[in-house]
């Protein structure tokens, strides 16, 4: 259970780094999955994070395969978390119609 929490916190970190990279440069938005995967693999290698040994799924032939697959899973989880974040952030604009507010405030000043 503790390993799942560590995995999710690192995935949130990958999500934040990916979102930061997307805001710094517009072209990086198109490469968000590649960037998330690269950050995930990089952070998994940096922390030597292996979800297979963390969940007692042994018998991998090579240890680096487990770390790399953990990084790919971190990148995929970060993309899923980013999509959930964007969905809930967009609900505010849907529930509170900004176009209607602009019409009420700005158009009265013009007329």
pLDDT tens-place string over residues 61-77: 788 888 999 999 999 99
Q: Which of 80, 72, 79, 81 is CA-nearest to residue 51?
A: 72
Cβ atoms of 39 and 15 within 8 Å: the answer is no
State residue 12's pLDDT score. 94
pLDDT score, position 54? 77
Q: What is the pTM of this model?
A: 0.77
Distance, CA of 21 to CA of 61 (rounded, Å): 35
Say which residue, 94 or 79, is predicted with more confidence.
79
Instruction: With cut-offs at 50, 70 and 90, classify the pLDDT of residue 60.
Output: confident
Domain that holds residue 34: 2-110
Residue 93: CB atoms within 10 Å: 10
**Overall domain count for the chain:** 1
């Amino acid at each position: 259970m503790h390993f799942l929490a560590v995995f999710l916190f690192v995935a949130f970190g990958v999500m934040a780094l990916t979102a930061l990279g997307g805001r710094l440069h517009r072209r990086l938005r198109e490469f968000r999955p590649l960037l998330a995967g690269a950050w995930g693999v990089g952070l998994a290698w940096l922390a030597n994070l292996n979800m297979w040994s963390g969940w007692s799924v042994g018998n991998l032939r090579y240890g680096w395969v487990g770390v790399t697959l953990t990084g790919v899973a971190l990148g995929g989880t970060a993309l899923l978390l980013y999509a959930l974040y964007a969905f809930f952030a967009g609900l505010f604009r849907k529930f509170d119609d900004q176009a209607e507010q602009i019409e009420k405030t700005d158009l009265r000043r013009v007329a």
